[in-house]
Amino acid sequence: MKSLFPSDQSRPSALGAGPTAGPQPRDMEIAANLRITLNRLVKIMRRETRNDGQLSLTERSTLGLLYPDVQLAPTDIARTEKVTTQSMSQVVNHLVELNYVTRTPSADDGRKTILSLTDLGRARVEQARQEKQEWLAKALHEKVSESEKSLLMDALTILTKLVDE
């Protein structure tokens, strides 16, 4: 795999600034630029792809959490989304109204409900993901050279290291 660094001497670890030295000014600069660029990319993808049902971000995220066949309690989703259970109740009610989500009693505790996607909800998630992927593929095709695409593939390997645990 082609390195994004011109030589091994450019790597922070080769200069003695290993992971224990703490973030360096260059790390902060890269982090800020990466955050800004990724946020802009996400906003543009949201704007450029349709949201027919005008679902809120939390509603779309809830569908994504349940995709493809995950079953979760509303309280678990609320915790993940960092919203109150009351807010999550409104989100769930709307998704049930749209027939994107079903409620079933928990096998462990009949007082609790478990949420899962309906076929329509699963199709909605797949359609939204496909539209975003098509928009991004078109943008890459129109704006990015083959050598830049190779650099992006290398960068994806690095970005994956940031999110994998």
**Model confidence over 90-107: pLDDT tens digits?**
999 999 999 999 999 999
| Distance, first Cα to last Cα, the chain | 22
User: In the predicted model, is pLDDT for residue 8 greater than 50?
Assistant: no
User: In the predicted model, is pLDDT for residue 117 greater than 70?
Assistant: yes
Q: What is the dihedral of CA 103, 107, 111, 117, to 10 degrees?
A: -10
Q: Tokens 């807010």 appear where?
A: 87
43-165: CATH topology is Arc Repressor Mutant, subunit A (1.10.10)
Q: What is the pLDDT of residues 32-47, one digit of tens each?
A: 999 999 999 999 988 8
User: In the predicted model, is pLDDT for residue 48 greater than 90?
Assistant: no
CA diameter of the chain: 61
The three-point CA angle 107-108-112 to 5° equals 85
Q: Which residues pair with 101 in a beta bridge?
A: 117
- Alpha carbon distance 43, 117 (integer Å): 25
* Structure tokens that stand for 124 in this block: 């909605």
- Alpha carbon distance 4, 152 (integer Å): 10
* Structure tokens that stand for 111 in this block: 């007082």
